[in-house]
Amino acid sequence: MPGKKFKNIFYLLLVICLITIVSSFYAFDFIELDPAVNWTMKYFALPILILMIPLSYIIYQKFIRQNEKKRYLSGIFVFFRVFILTIGLSIVLIGTTLSLIILSNGYLGASQSITINTTVIEYEITGEGIRKGPTKHYIKINVPQVDRLVELKVDRAYIIGEPFIKTMNIGKWGLLYSND
C-alpha cells in the first residue's frame, strides 16, 4: 500500500508542477523572461540537478524497481534508468521554478505601473510551422524607466522601428509584465 500512496502523491505533485508551468505562460500577455530564465539557470538548475540524483535513485529503488517485470542484473541498466529519471525530474522542477518566479513577480507584493513609449529594436519569432510548436513573438526594447534593454514575450508580430506604447507593471522581482 505505501507504493500506491507514493504513486498518487508523485502524480499529484507532477500535475501541480505542470499546471504551474502552463499557467505561468498564459497568465500574462506581455512578460520579461530573460532575467527569470537567467536566475533559474544560474541559481537553481545545478542545485535541483544535484538534489535529483540521490532522490531519483531512491525513487527508482523503492518504487519503480518493484513494479518492473524484468529484473536487470547489470548496473548499466539501473544507471541509465536513474539517469533518465534524474533528467526528467530536473527538467520539470527547473520549469516549475521558472514559472514560480514569473507568477510570484506578478502576484506577490505591490507592483509599480509605468508607461513605456519606445520603439522596437529587435523582433524574433519562434515555433513557426507545423512541427515546431506554437508561434511565439519576442521583441527587444529599451526601457528608460528601468534603464535596460528588455526582451518581452508579446502576443503579436512587430516590425523593427515600430512604436511600442504600453502601460506595464514592474513586479516583485523587477520584471516587466502586463495582463492586458
User: What pLDDT is stored for residue 130 in this prediction?
Assistant: 56
| 50-70 exposure pattern, b = at least 16 Cβ within 10 A, e = fewer | eebeeebbebbeeeeeeeeee
| Average pLDDT of the residues in 21-37 | 88
- The answer to whether the Cα torsion of 33, 38, 40, 41 is positive or negative is positive
How is 107-120 classified by DSSP, letter by letter?
HSS--EEEEEEEEE
Summarised one tens digit per residue, pLDDT across range 89-137 is 999 999 999 999 999 999 998 999 999 999 999 999 887 665 666 788 8
Q: What is the pTM of this model?
A: 0.83
- Spatial separation of the C-alpha atoms in residues 17 and 93, rounded to whole Å: 7
Secondary structure of residue 22 in the 3-state scheme: helix
Say whether pLDDT at 31 is over 70.
yes
Residue 85 corresponds to which cell in the numbers above?
Answer: 529519471
Residue 58 corresponds to which cell in the numbers above?
Answer: 531512491
